[in-house]
Every structure is written in structure tokens, then in C-alpha cells.
Structure 1
């Protein structure tokens, strides 16, 4: 079945990585996924030391190839080729005409892979496992002075949650820009206490972008993960429809679910949901 997406939608795919392979489908499933990979991808898969890392890599590659072929069925999953831009962000190489409107971004934690798919607009996504200890000590190095100060002023019990909110938002932005850590994380800010009308603010010395260009959402797909989504605004100003889906690597099973968009980012306190 072909999937349709337009410039006013974002499809946010969630793929959970099991702790261990299911013996019932391990051999057949892995064989089907490995058949989609290029020789270079198979070599990279074999270099991972831990089985869980190999499993996550294999499932992720299978998912993105299967996904793209659902949107562009003229290309078989095994036939997609990818390249990295100068900052290391993956993109479709030699994209056929039917795929040139597709934008995608991938993020993963230990147990959850999230893939954002959009049309004609840049998109970035980040997911973090929030049950691990938040490295609050790095806030002074990677957050803006304003963010770090606001974080410190919170009660201790609230600081880990705020840390993950800020971290995922920042990661989603630099991934949407496609420039990675070449953009200093301390040169732009998010005011999550919300008095301004813009979701993102740029510090002195960071140029080349406009705060009005981007929209942000924070989400909680389950009790153990935080997700942030960054999306380039539509030229006509229409709000996007965010469709949240659970998937398997080969898309043998797809389930849409609602309500994971829990909060809009700073400056917009209106209720949000996966509409």
C-alpha cells in the first residue's frame, strides 16, 4: 500500500528495539533485513561489538528502506542509496523524481528508533531515554547562559526533565539544519517558561537563520522517552498535521496512535495533539 504525504503533514514513525531477538522469527526476519542492505551496510553491521547495537542498526536500515518504498513504490527497498552531506547528515543519493520532495530524519536511543518523514520542508527529530541519569553537569558547556541559569533555578526534582526537553529540542534543530555540531549549542536558546512569541532565539554571533522559519514540538511516546520535533514552517502558514505511527522494520505491521504530542514548545501554550 502506497503512503501519501504532503507539505502539511509530518509522519513520525516509532520502532521499538527488543532487548533480545525473538527466536520464533529471528532467522527469517534478520535474513529479510540483511537482504536489503548494501555491502557497505552489511560490513558496518558486522563491526558492532554488541548484539543489541547490531539489531538496532539492522532494524533501522530496514525501516528507512521499507518506509521510503511505501512513499515511492517505484523504488524497491534494496535499491535506495544514501550519502552524507558535508556535516554527516544522511540523505537520498541520486533521488528519483518521485522522491525529490521527501525529507527524512532519524534518531535512536537504546530501545526506540524514531523517524520523521516530511514533504518539501526540512525536518529534524531527536529521541532520548529519560530514565537514565541526566548529565546536568554539562549544561554549562552546551546550553546558553540563559538556559543554564533557568535550569539551575528549578527545584532539583524538575531539573532532569527540563534538561531532556532542552537537549532534544537543540538536537532536533541542528539536525533539521543538517549542520550537526558545527552549530554551537550554546548560541541558541529555548525559553520553556514561555513569555516570548518565538520558539527559538539566537544568541549574538549566530547568524544565517531566522527564528520564524521553524516550529517545534515536545513529545512523550511513553514513560521512558522524550522526543522533540523541529519542522520548517509552511510557506502558507498552515499548521501541520502530525501523524504518529508504530511500525516494524519491514512495515509488516503499522499502527497509528494519538496523543503523543504533549506540549508545544516555548511561546505557544495552546493544547497540542497528534491531529
Structure 2
């Protein structure tokens, strides 16, 4: 069985957030090492992408998941197996289960220039990263966001609206990913209130729904915004890596976090 030099501890209540910067292409020799870690199915999936930059990003995401999971359990990167949940979310398929894989879960997001991998034990979690240098799709707000979110964004000066859009979008994506249901959850069925600096208020349209989710937002680079949703008030520990090359601890300040109590239910529109 594979044994890492030293497995990383992952205490209860911690979420490890791994940041992987990437370009549009890689070193051919290193990429060959990456290819050796993927399954035939993953290699076929990579080759379905039309553009080389998308093939490279897919390769990096799969290698990141495999190599980083091996920092927490004595399983070789190429031996990890995954199964999709009812709505397509990948989960660890550990058979036979070993102690280090019990409760271990992850969620992944990527955008131009950065891949983010969140790992925890016995915590439901979802993560989203967006490149905030791209154009904000402001016209989507009135059609897909909750009315209160649209009104709050419209009240801002025009120059501040793109930043608020990405704050809302990453938070909303992190929530639906934590729920593991994707767009089966309508984007207007829950809302965030961000008018108080540093705070994240959260409300559900269903007054009987479980609103006890916790949110944290970070901006690890000038170009990227990250939001994390978790089922408990977790401590985030950030690390940066280039798979099979290096890794290091990283201090990233939280820019927003959940208020102590959730908002009232969303009023009918």
C-alpha cells in the first residue's frame, strides 16, 4: 500500500483549501507524469475538450484531486476511485474503506488561472471560484437572482456592481454545490444580504428550510474570488500547490463571513 512521507492532519471542524495556479499549457515532461495518474476514462474525457487550454485545465484538476487526497490517506494518487451522486457530484469511492478515508470529502472549482480544492471530514461543503476580471453577467441578475439581491445590486453605483455580482454568484454557487443538487435548486429560492461590510446574511424562500449553513468568502489573488459553504462553522486552512512539484502554506484573509444568525425567510415576490 502507498505510504506518503507524512500524512497531513485534518482536525474536526477544519476545511483545507488548496489553491492551484495554472496557465493554458504545461511542461511536456511534467504533463507525461500527470497523464500516468489518470484512468483511461479520465484521459478520454480530457481529449473531448476542443481547446488545448481546456484539456490542460481538466488534466490539472484531476491530478490535483488525486495527489492532494493522497496527502490525507495512504492511497497512491492513481488508485483513487470516484462515484457520482444522484445529481452528478463526484464522491470518493473507497472500497475497502480504510480509516483515513472515513468521512473524507472534497469539492472542486476552477476558473481561468486558478483551481480550488476544498477538503474536510464529516462536513458538507461546496466551493466556487471565479475570475473577476471577466465581464460580469449583470443582465442575469433580474432573471435568476432573488428580487432582494437584484434590488440591492441595482442600488449600488455602477462601478461597484460587477464586484457585487461576483460576490453573490460565488456564494450562490457554493451553496448549490454544498447541497449536491446543482441547478435543481432555483437561484431565486435563496438569497444573500451583503450590504453590511464583512457580513454574509442568508435566507431561504421556504420558512421551514434549513438555513443553518455557514459561508466564508476570500480573495486569494487580485483576479480571483472564492466562496465556501459548509454545514458547520469551520476554520479554513489555505495551502498553495503545483502538483508533483511543490506546496506551501498560504495566509488568505476572509473578506466576508456568515452573520451569527440567518436572515428572515425571503418574502414572496
Following superposition, the deviation at residue 110 of structure 1 comes to: 1.7
- Alignment partners' CA distance in 2, 1:246 and 1:198: 26
- Alignment partners' CA distance in 2, 1:101 and 1:194: 35
- Secondary structure in structure 1 of the residue aligned to 2:218: strand
Following superposition, the deviation at residue 100 of structure 1 comes to: 2.2
Deviation sequence 1:192-244 (CA, Å, 0-9, x none): 1249x98320014x86x4112x11011101111111001111xxxxx532111
Following superposition, the deviation at residue 27 of structure 1 comes to: 2.5
Residue 257 (structure 1) aligns with: 250
- Secondary structure in structure 2 of the residue aligned to 1:157: helix
Residue 87 (structure 2) aligns with: 87
CA contact (8 A) 1:190 1:266 kept: no
- Alignment partners' CA distance in 2, 1:265 and 1:127: 18
- Alignment partners' CA distance in 2, 1:93 and 1:254: 26
The equivalent position to 2:19 in structure 1, one of 14, 23, 26, is: 14
Residue 3 (structure 2) aligns with: none
CA contact (8 A) 1:194 1:267 kept: no
CA contact (8 A) 1:60 1:249 kept: no
- Alignment partners' CA distance in 2, 1:179 and 1:6: 27
- Secondary structure in structure 2 of the residue aligned to 1:71: coil
- Alignment partners' CA distance in 2, 1:153 and 1:264: 22
Residue 62 (structure 2) aligns with: 61
Cα RMSD (Å): 1.9
- Alignment partners' CA distance in 1, 2:156 and 2:181: 31
Structure 1, unmatched stretches of 5+, are: 234-238, 269-275
Following superposition, the deviation at residue 249 of structure 1 comes to: 2.1
- Secondary structure in structure 2 of the residue aligned to 1:164: helix
Residue 46 (structure 2) aligns with: 45
- Secondary structure in structure 2 of the residue aligned to 1:20: coil
Are 1:211 and 2:238 counterparts? no
Distance 1:117 1:34, change over 3 A: same
Which runs of structure 2 are paired with 1:23-172 in the superposition (5 Å)? 26-73=27-74, 75-95=75-95, 96-98=97-99, 99-172=101-174
Structure 2, unmatched stretches of 5+, are: 1-5, 262-269
Deviation sequence 1:38-75 (CA, Å, 0-9, x none): 110010111111111111111111110011111001x1
Q: How many residues align?
A: 253
CA contact (8 A) 1:198 1:267 kept: no
